[in-house]
Amino acid sequence: MKVLAMDKCAEEGLKLIREAGFEVDSKAGLTEDELIKIIPGYDALIVRSETKATPKIIEAGKNLKIIGRAGVGVDNIDLPTATKHGVIVVNSPEGNTVAAAEHTFAMLLSMARSIPQAHAKLKSGVWDKKSFKGVEVLNKTLGVVGLGKIGRRVASYALGMGMRVIGSDPFVTAEYAKGLGVELKSFDEVIKEADFITFHIPKTKETAGLINAQTIAKMKKGVRLVNVARGGIVDEKALYDALKNGQIKAAALDVFEKEPTESSPLFELDNIVVTPHLGASTVEAQVNVAIDVAEQVIEVLKGGAARSAVNIPSMKPELIAPVKPYMGIAEKLGALAAQVVKGAISKVEVEYSGEIAELNVSPLTTIVLKGLLTPILDVKVNFVNAPLAAKERGIEVVESKNNEGKDFASLITLKIKTEKEERSVGGTIFAGVGDRLVSIDGFRVDAVPEGYMIILQNIDKPGMIGKVGTFLGQHSINIAAMDVGRVKIGERAVMVLNVDNLIPDKVLQDFTKIEGIFGATLVKI
């Protein structure tokens, strides 16, 4: 088999592929037409950021089994086309972890001691000791927003420097954080208490502009900020104002709202340290990503599974075929549980009862995790990385079987435990009908798990269904289906409604104003 490496991929990675018995051609600077001509002769393609794996190139790669991106982003690879043609696309999400973490701490220390400013002044011929009195980090409190791979490593560096570390991450448990030496707190608590704050989160709809005039006002006066994560997390106008008025003593930025950035009002300030997105720019990081991708290419070409596939599962067909009918309901149960549970997940139990217990259910447990983690994680979750993603977040996964079917020929029951509560959902498939949600927290229901669903917790008493129907009618929300579940007359019950459209947050909150209803959750499947 042959591998084509583009964009001057590090030789250390290519050497591994050759030693594994595969032929490697290393080329750079080819046009799309030139690649189209030669790609049919290759089984794997490795690119960095320069080469674009376009639909035409992928379609021409009749023998392509895998495309590897020696880096994190895969924007230069057409994922839909690769998926359509059964080509696995992998990246190297961990290769730059050390580089980014070390750059973060380098920026933090440079900011604390005004090293770039003092350096520039001395090089200009001025010996000035008085203007650059710094602060020590010993015994200071570092707030780490985002306890992923990079955030965890930054926390370990800070602990080694004698700092107290507090952190916020909605998908990490307090017990897990404690094992890292980090005190887990809410985001607001972190920004109020910390002397230094560093960010290690993706830019999403929720995190864009997270650090703005309002959140800055909550911070300790004289706080110092570091952002080596993503541009746009910090509102640069609000940061400028806070640096000018002294609310923020100093800041260090490696990323910006618009890149490349060659001019900014921030650059006029003396209390800021800036670098041009150098977080992953180390010799070692480039070697690491090349080795990581090379190992995955070797594994796939030998018939194995890639650990960082970003588009399709690489599970073997013979494992999937027997359980394929249950894959839909398994993923839906995971997605539903993620949306109803509160708090950071610490344990997931998946129980298989009845006929399904006779099968190899490991692919189903993986797809349950995919459904569970997709709504709450910033990374693309698939069959390959779902178990690893759960493990990295300290989530215990338990799989069990019960050959007794009881009320159903086959039943999948998912139990989720957080530091706040325990919830459970159960589902099955009916011949000729399809997927069915059959239990919520022990209450028997019969609902179709698709589209928008409202799950109500209520008291079982006359008139409840009428109140709910009237309330939704007043808000022009049509009910497609409804089912209720109870254990004893007059006690707690659940109501599951399929509705035709999205429910505004205000309407959902107003549900609890109805006498007898004490919980309302909107789920999108």
pTM here?
0.70
Residue where the block lists tokens 């200071």: 140
DSSP state of 58: H
Give the integer Cα–Cα distance in Å for 484 and 495: 4
Which residues make Cβ contacts (< 8 Å) with residue 318, sequence separation at least 6? Answer: none
CATH number of 451-525: 3.30.70.260
Beta-bridged to residue 371, according to DSSP, are none
Q: What does the domain layout of the chain look like in residue ranges?
A: 2-94+284-301, 97-274, 315-444, 451-525
Residue where the block lists tokens 């933090």: 108
Which residues make Cβ contacts (< 8 Å) with residue 365, sequence separation at least 6? Answer: 330, 350, 397, 399
Query: Shortest CA distance to 521 belongs to which of 375, 367, 398, 365?
Result: 375
Name the class of domain 2-94+284-301. alpha beta
Handedness of CA 377, 380, 381, 387 (dihedral sign): negative
Query: Shortest CA distance to 171 belongs to which of 391, 434, 487, 499?
Result: 391
* pLDDT at position 453: 95
Rg for the chain (alpha carbons), in Å? 27
Query: Shortest CA distance to 187 belongs to which of 206, 162, 161, 160?
Result: 206
CATH number of 315-444: 3.30.1330.90
Residue where the block lists tokens 């239990």: 439
Degrees (nearest 5) of the Cα angle 357, 362, 366?
A: 125
* pLDDT at position 390: 87
Count of Cβ atoms closer than 10 Å to residue 55 Cβ? 13
Query: Shortest CA distance to 104 belongs to which of 25, 1, 201?
Result: 201
Judge whether 2-94+284-301 and 97-274 match in fold. yes
Q: pLDDT 10s digit of each residue in the chain, 525 long?
A: 999 999 888 899 999 999 999 999 999 889 999 999 999 999 999 998 789 999 999 999 999 999 999 887 677 899 888 877 878 999 887 888 899 999 999 999 999 999 999 999 999 999 999 999 999 999 999 999 999 889 999 999 999 999 999 999 988 889 999 999 999 999 999 999 999 999 998 887 889 999 999 999 999 999 999 999 989 999 999 999 999 999 999 999 999 999 889 999 999 999 999 999 999 889 999 899 999 999 999 999 998 778 888 876 545 556 677 888 999 999 999 999 999 999 999 999 999 999 999 998 988 999 999 999 988 876 667 766 788 778 888 899 999 998 887 789 999 999 999 988 999 999 999 988 899 999 999 999 999 999 999 999 999 999 999 999 999 999 999 999 999 998 888 889 999 999 998 898 889 989 989 999 988 999 999
Write out the catalytic residue numbers: 230, 259, 277
Give the integer Cα–Cα distance in Å for 287 and 13: 7
Domain 97-274 matching CATH 3.30.360.10: the answer reads: no
Give the integer Cα–Cα distance in Å for 504 and 245: 39
Give the integer Cα–Cα distance in Å for 27 and 231: 33
